[in-house]
Structures are given as C-alpha cells and as structure tokens.
C-alpha cells in the first residue's frame, strides 16, 4: 500500500507480510515505499509503446481524462489514474474483491459449489491466523472466478458435472499441475470441449467485470486490459466477440461505454516498469510525462 510501511497479502495464507522499515534497514536503502501491485501496474501504463497493446475498439483517447485498468492473473486487480499536471496520479482499488454475480444457470452452479468450498476453507484459514475478526462468510469475490485459479475452478466443476467429456490425458496434466492448472485449461481451450467451455465462461465473466469497472471510472483516457490471462489466451479475447459483448452488455447505460477506448496490453512486465517509473518520479518529478 502506498505510504504504508507494512503490507499483508490477502492471497497468501498464514499472514505473510512485507515491512518497508525492515527492508530499509536490512538493505541500507535510505527510503523504501511499498505500493499496491496495481498502482505499479497503473504507472506502468504510462510507459507503454504502441506495439505493446491492441485496440479492441475504434475510439480515440481523450486528453486529460481518467485512465483505468483491470487485470486477471494470479488474482484480479483494478486501479485508476487521474491527470496531474503533465502526468497522472494512480490510485489503488480492491475491485477484484467485489461480489461475483453469475448470470447463467451453469454459472450459478459454479458459484454455489465454489462458494461452499471457499467458505469451508475460510473457516480453517481464519482459525489459524490473526484474521478472525473477519470470520467466514457466504459471499464469493469476483477474483475467485476471474483469475488463473478461477479458470481452473470452472474447469474442475465442469469435469465433475460432465465426466463423460473429460479428456483423461488433459485431466491428468491438470491435476498434476497444482498452481498452474489455469494454464493447462488455457492451452487446451482451442481443442478440448470442456477446456473451451471453461474458457468461454471465464472470458464472458471477465468482460462483465471489465464493463462494471468501466462504468465506475468512465476512463475515456483509456481502459487497459492487463495481467497475464488475456495475452496468454489472446484469440479468445480478439477473434471471439465474447469479451467485448460482455463489456457492452449493460442495458440502458450501454451507450455510456461506447466512448471508452479499450486496449489489451500484450506485455507482462508493467508492474516492474511501473515500480521503476514511480521510484524515479518521486526523485525526479519533472522528468516524466504521459504521451
């Protein structure tokens, strides 16, 4: 978190944390600042070159308008940027932890199954950590579905529901891959029925949440799809219409999104670049500007 000296991870069990004061002391660095990973991602957007992203719609960017990004990878992150002089200030959010809303019967089934699984796990997790004040609940955050692990969870449910459609070789690789199971689903989505169905559910859900974020920020300076999931599964975001159709499916306010330029970022090092940008900007604020 920007301005804080201690950061505790929500996606790592048993209370892992980073202490900026300790880093400063142990590494002999005069000034250590911890920033949200998507603040780093947001500042990384300011370093993009034209060949590092694809335009998903033909809408010009507005000068001096907000910028926003959503990115699915290990989790689901969101942030927004507002103009500040010749550059932008970036602000973190926890949008990926908003409630997931299923819209089809199969999504409702997946939602109920995963919610029960997560809540049972939460009881164990909260009994072993200092986070007992939060306690178990009966909700499911969006990143439980829209992330690499989420894609794996979708496939896992489909394999359980349709065992006759399971490709045994793919499923064996899936089970053995543990933390990389979403990648197994992704690489087989073009040839395997269940993996393809899982990918369709994932991409449509991703598009709905991207549309939600775009409605909140109206980022006419650019709305960027970041994280590893989109570039690793590019055809499902560009050759299919699932993603954009889901973004724009907002009923009576759908026209509001037609003025938002949407880009898919191809490079996956924005976090590192953004951290460098922020660090240098703090020391030399006159040196960087957007454009």
In a domain, 1, yes or no: yes
- Where does a domain end: 176, 204, 232? 204
81 burial via Cβ count (<10 Å: 0-12, 13-18, 19+): buried
Overall domain count for the chain: 3
Q: What is the mean pLDDT of the chain?
A: 89
- Are residue 135 and residue 265 in the same domain, yes or no? no
What mean pLDDT comes out for the span 268-279?
A: 92
Q: What is the reported pLDDT for 136?
A: 54
Of the residues 204, 234, 258, the one at which a domain ends: 204
Whole-angstrom Cα distance, residue 176 to residue 152? 12
Question: Model confidence over 161-194: pLDDT tens digits?
Answer: 999 999 999 999 999 998 899 999 999 999 999 9
Q: Which two tokens stand for residue 76?
A: 């689901």
Average pLDDT over residues 255-276: 96
**11 and 62 co-located in one domain:** no
Do 70 and 84 fall within a single domain? Answer: yes
Determine the pLDDT at residue 35.
Answer: 85
Q: Residue 15 sits in which domain range?
A: 1-34
Q: Are residues 85 and 140 in the same domain?
A: no
DSSP string, 216-272: HH--TT-EEEESSHHHHTTHHHHTSSHHHHHHH--GGGGGGGGGS-EEEE--S-HHH
| Residue 288 falls inside a structural domain | no
Same domain for 127 and 271? no
Query: Does residue 290 belong to any structural domain of this protein?
Result: no
pLDDT given at position 286: 64
Give the Cα separation of 53 and 187 in Å (integer): 21
Taking the C-alpha atoms of residue 279 and residue 274, their distance in angstroms, rounded to an integer, is: 8
141-159 burial: b if 16+ Cβ within 10 Å, else e: bbbbbbbbbbbbbbbbbbb
Over the stretch 206-256, which tens digit does the pLDDT of each residue have? 999 999 999 999 999 999 999 999 999 999 999 999 999 999 999 999 999
Indicate if 188 and 233 belong to the same structural domain: no
Region 132-136 average pLDDT: 48
For residue 149, being part of any structural domain is answered with: yes
Given a cut of 60, is residue 130 above it in pLDDT? no
Beta-strand pair 17-19/53-55: unpaired
| Whole-number Å distance between alpha carbons of 113 and 154 | 10
Q: Is the model's pLDDT at 279 over the cut of 70? A: yes
Q: Distance between CA atoms of 90 and 122, rounded to whole angstroms? A: 32
- Answer yes or no: is pLDDT of 73 > 90: yes
Pairing mode of beta strands 67-72, 76-84: antiparallel
Q: Within a domain: residue 60? A: yes
Question: CA 192, CA 207: separation in Å to the nearest integer?
Answer: 22
* CATH classification of the domain holding 92: 3.40.367.20
What's the average model confidence in pLDDT over 1-19? 64
pLDDT score recorded for residue 205: 98
Considering the domain architecture, whether residues 190 and 111 belong to the same structural domain is answered as yes
Confirm whether 14 is domain-assigned. Answer: yes
Report d(CA 239, CA 51) in Å as an integer. 19
Residue 74 lies in a domain: yes
Task: Give the whole-angstrom CA distance, residue 80 versus residue 66.
Answer: 7
75-102 pLDDT, tens digit per residue, is 999 999 999 988 899 999 999 999 999 9
Query: What is the per-residue burial (b if ≥16 Cβ within 10 Å, else e) of 171-188?
Result: bebbeeeeeebbbbbbeb
Instruction: Clarify whether residues 81 and 114 are in a common domain.
Output: no
Residues 188 and 112 in one domain: yes
Tokens standing for 241?
A: 């219409």
Give which of 46, 40, 44, 34 is closest to 83, Cα–Cα. Answer: 46
Last residue of a domain, one of 204, 224, 250: 204
In this structure, are residues 34 and 5 in contact, taking their beta carbons and an 8 Å threshold? yes
Q: What is the pLDDT of residue 13?
A: 58
CB of 7 within 8 A of CB of 34?
yes
**Residue 276 token pair:** 């460098």
Using the predicted structure, report yes or no on whether residue 291 has a pLDDT greater than 50.
no
User: Are residue 142 and residue 218 in the same domain, yes or no?
Assistant: no
Same-domain status, 253 and 223 = yes
Q: What is the pLDDT of residue 259?
A: 97
Nearest Cα residue to 125 out of 17, 7, 18, 12? 12
128-137, 192-201, 219-228: least confident range: 128-137
Task: Assess contact for 69 and 79: CB atoms under 8 A.
Answer: yes
Does residue 216 share a domain with residue 193? Answer: no
Query: Residue 150: inside a domain, yes or no?
Result: yes
pLDDT tier for residue 5 given thresholds of 50, 70 and 90: low
Write the DSSP string, 172-189: HHHHHHGGGHHHHHHHHT
């Amino acid at each position: 978190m920007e301005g804080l000296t201690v950061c505790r991870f929500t996606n790592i069990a048993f209370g892992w944390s980073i202490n900026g004061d300790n880093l400063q002391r142990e590494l002999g660095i005069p000034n250590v600042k911890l920033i949200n990973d998507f603040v780093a991602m947001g500042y990384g957007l300011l370093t993009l070159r034209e060949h590092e992203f694809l335009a998903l719609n033909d809408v010009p960017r507005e000068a001096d308008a907000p910028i926003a990004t959503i990115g699915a990878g290990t989790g689901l992150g969101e942030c927004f940027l507002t103009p500040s002089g010749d550059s932008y200030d970036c602000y973190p959010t926890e949008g990926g932890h908003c409630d997931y809303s299923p819209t089809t019967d199969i999504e409702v089934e997946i939602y109920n199954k995963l919610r029960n699984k997560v809540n049972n796990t939460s009881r164990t997790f909260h009994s072993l950590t200092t986070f007992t004040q939060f306690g178990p609940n009966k909700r499911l955050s969006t990143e439980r579905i829209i992330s690499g692990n989420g894609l794996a969870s979708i496939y896992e449910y489909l394999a359980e529901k349709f065992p006759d459609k399971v490709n045994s070789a793919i499923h064996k690789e899936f089970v053995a891959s543990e933390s990389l199971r979403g990648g197994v689903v992704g690489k087989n989505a073009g040839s395997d029925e269940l993996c393809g169905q899982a990918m369709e559910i994932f991409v449509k859900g991703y598009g709905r949440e991207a549309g939600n974020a775009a409605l909140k920020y109206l980022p006419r300076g650019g709305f960027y799809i970041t994280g590893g999931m989109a570039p690793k599964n590019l055809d499902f975001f560009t050759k299919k219409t699932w993603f954009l159709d889901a973004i724009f499916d907002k009923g009576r306010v759908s026209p509001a999104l037609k003025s938002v330029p949407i880009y898919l970022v191809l490079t996956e090092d924005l976090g590192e670049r953004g951290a460098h940008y922020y660090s240098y900007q703090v020391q030399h604020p006159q040196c960087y500007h957007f454009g």
